[in-house]
Structures are given as C-alpha cells and as structure tokens.
A and B are shown apart, each in its own frame.
Chain A
Amino acid sequence: MRTPFRSVVKHALLILAAGVMIYPLLWMVASSFRPNDLIFREAGLVISQVDWNNYPNGWDALSEPFSKYLMNSAILVLGCILGNLVSCSMAAYAFARLDFKFKKIMFVLMLMTIMLPIHVIIVPQYVMFSQIGWVNTFWPIIVPKLLATDGFFIFLMIQFIRGIPKDMDEAARIDGAGHPRIFLQVILPLMVPALATTAIFTFIWTWSDFFTSLIYLTNPSNYTVQVALNAFIDSTGESNWGALFAMSIVTLIPVFLAFLFGQKYLVKGIATTGIK
C-alpha cells in the first residue's frame, strides 16, 4: 500500500544514500581548495581557509604543464571516437542488414571479443607495436579502434539498427541505391542516437583508461592525464594532497561534463545492450 508515511521514509532513505554516495566527491572538491595541513583535519565541506595555490602548484608540478597532458588525452579521445564511429557502424550494418557466408560464426566471434580479457593480447600487441616503433605514440591505442575491436559498440549499434524498419532501406533499394548509399544516406542518419552513445562512452572510457596508456606512453611528453596523475603521486603526491586533489578534479571535470550532457544516451546505451 502506498501511504504518505512510507513515501517519506523512502525518500529520506534515498536522500541519505545519495548524500553518502556523493559526499566523497564533494569533499575532494572542497579539499582541493584547502591548505595541506587542513585537509587532514576538516571532514566537513565548509572551507575555513581558502588556498588557491593547489591548482597552480599542481598544474606545474611535473616536467610539462598539465595543459600538455590534457591535450594528449584530448587527441587520444578524439582519435578513438572517430575510429569507433566509423569502423563499428560499418561492421554493425553488415551484421544487422546483410546476409553473407560465415555470418553466424563471425557474429559469435564478435560477441566473444566483448568478454575477452585485454591481458591476453596486450603482451603480443606490445611486442608488435614496439617492433614497428609505435611505443610512445598514440597509434597503439587509436589503431585498434579504427579496426572495430570494440565489440560492445558494434553490438550496441546492431541492436539499434535492428529497430529501424526495414521498409526504409528496401524503398531505397528499389530506387536503385546500393548498400554504400543505403548505409550512408538512410541508416547512418537514423542511427545518430546510437552514434552519440558510442561517442560518449568512448570519451569517458578512453579518458579514464589507465592500463593501456601506462604501458604504451612512458615518455613524460606523451602522458595522458591519468598517467600524469600517477606520476604526480610518485613525485610529490604523498606530501601534497591539496595539489593532487586539484589535478584529480581537473581530470574528472571532462568526464563529469560528458556524463552530465550525455546522460540520456549513457542510460539508453547501458539499457539497450542489457535488454531489448
């Protein structure tokens, strides 16, 4: 039975839970404006003494200014987004709309790659990329995306294309359009929401990726923001939490903005790959 009392209790519970969930984040933001010795004494969100220096200090703490790392991450993210959009949409069109030999086995292979731990391919990939001189470039991270290795997004797009009425492309085919034209002029414009979902997920995941950039980008001038933060801990972090938090916030802001503006797509993407 739905009574006002139950509803109040429920909302109180949820608000409490929501508070607990985001308190650490808010506290980190507050602490990034605190002098170091106060961070370890103030558990609240009120900033009794504002220290603006954490941001400039953190920004210039490493050999390159933080803007360099932001730029590196941005280039990497854009390359990966472009790669995923082009290659995954092509593969998805084939799987969703075309009949071809070995389709089933290829489809199963594609689904299996979603579940394959990256660790089983990272060693040979590293060997391969180091032999062609690509270590300390962005190519080892971008090229796999250009080759549609993110099965998750192919699957997401397949699900989306399956929802587009077949009459649309059949009408175009009767008008004499071939598959490239149907793909480019009929399907692609209709699957913009799926492309947006892919772009936003790729943004967040590539921006946050630590493992592959740690392995491939060992030269400080190539660091992404994640590797730079790690380098920060190694150099000064333990004694300089204020600056470390400040730079942490800097690396989180783009993800937070992508989350804020892309939330609708993120939720849909999670839900559609989960269930029909």
Chain B
Amino acid sequence: MSAIAELQSLSKTKGRKAPAKDNKAAHIFLIPWTIGLFLVTLGPMAMSLYLAFTDYNLLQSPEFTGFANIERMLDDQRLHNSLRVTFTYVLVGVPLQLAVALGVAILLDRGMRGLSFYRSVFYLPSMLGSSVAIAVLWKQIFGTTGLVNQMLDLIGIQGIGWISDPNTSLGSLILLNVWTFGSPMVIFLAGLRQVPAMYYEAASIDGASKWRQFRSITLPMISPIIFFNLVLQIIGAFQNFTQAFIVSNGSGGPADSTMFFTLYLYQQGFKQFDMGYASAMAWLLVLIVGAFTAVNFFVSKYWVFYDD
C-alpha cells in the first residue's frame, strides 16, 4: 500500500488504542525521529508561522506587523504572476508527464524483449533531471543557437530563442518535466503488473476492443496508482526550483516568465533577506499544496477504486 493509500485508510478507521506494551523500547528507537520532528520540522513550522506576521531581516529582531505581509501579498503583482507561472506548470506539466508515463508503461509489456533496456533508458532522465547539469543542458538545447534550432535549421526552419522568449520559456521547462516521466512510469509498470491477466482474457472472449479493455479494466484497476502519482507529482511540481533558477540565472526571466513561486520565495528570503515576507509566502505554498492534496483526496472517492 502506498503512503497515500495508507493515509486514506487511516483517516477512515476510528482510533483504537494500541496495547502499548513496548513504550520504553519505542521511546528509545524513536529518539532521533522525535528530536527531528520537534527541532527540525514542527518547531521551525511554528516559528515560520510567527515570522509570517513579522518584519524580519535577520539582523534586527522580528517586529510584529500583524497582517501586513498578507496585505502585501494581495497587492504584489510579481507574486500573482509567480502563482500563475507555477499553476500553469503544475496543471499542464503534471498531466502531460503522467499521460506519457502511463502510455509508455502500457507499451512495455511484461516479458517483452528488451524490457529492462527500455525501462533503464526511460528511467534515467528522471534520476538525473533535478541536477544543475541537466538545467544547463536544457538552457543550451533551447537557446537561440541551441540543439533544437540546429535541428530545425537542417530542415530549413528558422527557430526562435525558446528560453529567451517569454512565450516559450515556460513551455521548455514543462517539456523538461515531461522528459523526466521515468519514475511515475516505473510505478505504473508495477501497478499494471497487479492487474490479473484473466480479466483481459475474459474481456477478449466477450469481444471487447483494446480501447474498451483499457477503459473498463486497466484504468479502474490502476486508479489508486494514478492517484498516488498525481498527488506526489503535483506536490513535487509546486516545489520546482533548480531548473527555473539555472535557466534564468536566478532571475526568473525573461519578463518573469519562469519566476516560479519558490524562486520568488528564495529571492525574497535569501537575496532581500525579507524573512517575514518569505515565511508568509511559504505558508501560502503550504496552504495551496494542502488544498490541492485535500481536493485530490476528496475527488478520489469518485474515481479511485480499491478492490479490498
């Protein structure tokens, strides 16, 4: 069961008290985790919530300003733009990436020739993808004299500066996200393997077309996995930073077209040292990611099927 399925089932069952016979041993085993939870996660979360209502530049102590940061967020056009950019990236990039991942996973039949070769080649980019080197590569590929334009030149088409044109720069980053479809693909592959072959056999005997089998057997059977990938990829996509940073030299340009929310947060917090505002932004991000996840969980009741 995935972490997400586990969360779903936990939220359904009513709390039953554990027998609690290993309290002492458990405390010992959980010492690092408990310290980490309070010192590295919950503590900073509480402090960040407080800082969100302050003006703080790291040198002077935080000054409580009430809702000033929130009012500023409401008026901040660059922030609104960064939300637009990020939403576009999430809402276009994630479905596209998952569709490709699922499509390729379905093409890769169990026991087919060269399966492990194909899987490796498709999986590799998603392992390399988050590093600076790949962003550097992308910057060149979609540059004015880059690989894409060289190829277009061969067939006589005059390319444009994909990265330097605000209309296409975000598109190139979405494409980079699609390119890293390998890890959701691996999860789809494992999921497809769980669908009993007899369902397909029975359906073929009944004369169901391949498309019909896909719609009526494959999709419902792997819906928990689609859901899992969807939730995780959305959460991940909201936090994309490296690629936007490298491709735009940290500026979010051209014309703020790659100013992702996290990049703007970094600029405010760690370039301007406007820590109060950055904290308020971080909480907005948590609320947005949380809302997306909650909606996902809620809607999942209508399209995700668990057979147990």
> Chain A: residues with CB nearer than 8 A to chain B?
10-11, 13-14, 17-18, 21-22, 24-25, 27-28, 39-43, 86-87, 90-91, 93-94, 98-101, 103-104, 106-128, 130, 143-144, 146-149, 152, 154-155, 178-180, 183, 204-205, 207-211, 214-215, 226, 229-230, 233-234, 237, 241, 244-245, 248-249, 251-252, 255-256, 259, 263, 266-267, 270-271, 273-276
Contacts of B114 in A (CB 8 A): 11, 14
Given contacts A24-B137, A233-B249, A275-B191, whether A120 and B33 have CB atoms under 8 Å apart is no
The reply on B304 being an interface residue by CB < 8 A is no
Contacts of B154 in A (CB 8 A): 43
Given contacts A108-B7, A130-B58, A248-B137, whether A124 and B43 have CB atoms under 8 Å apart is yes
> Chain B: residues with CB nearer than 8 A to chain A?
1-3, 6-7, 10, 15, 18-23, 25-33, 35-37, 39-41, 43-45, 47-48, 51, 58, 104, 107-108, 113-114, 117-125, 127-128, 130-134, 136-138, 140-141, 145-147, 150-151, 154, 179, 183, 186-187, 189-191, 194, 224-225, 228-229, 231, 235, 238-239, 241-242, 245-246, 249, 262, 265-266, 269-270, 275, 278-279, 281-283, 285-286, 289, 293
- B286–A233 CB distance below 8 A: no
Contacts of B262 in A (CB 8 A): 119, 211
Contacts of B132 in A (CB 8 A): 208, 210, 226, 229-230, 248, 251
- A117–B238 CB distance below 8 A: yes
- B141–A24 CB distance below 8 A: yes
- B190–A99 CB distance below 8 A: no
- A154–B246 CB distance below 8 A: no
Smallest Cβ-Cβ distance to A262: which chain B residue: B127
Given contacts A11-B113, A111-B7, whether A273 and B48 have CB atoms under 8 Å apart is no
Separation in Å of the B72 CB from the closest CB of chain A? Answer: 16
- B3–A99 CB distance below 8 A: no
15 contacts between A and B (CB under 8 A): A14-B108, A94-B26, A98-B22, A100-B22, A111-B6, A120-B282, A121-B45, A122-B269, A123-B275, A179-B22, A211-B262, A211-B266, A229-B132, A234-B249, A275-B190
- A267–B119 CB distance below 8 A: yes
The 7 closest A-B pairs by CB, nearest first: A147-B36, A248-B133, A100-B26, A271-B190, A124-B44, A43-B150, A94-B29
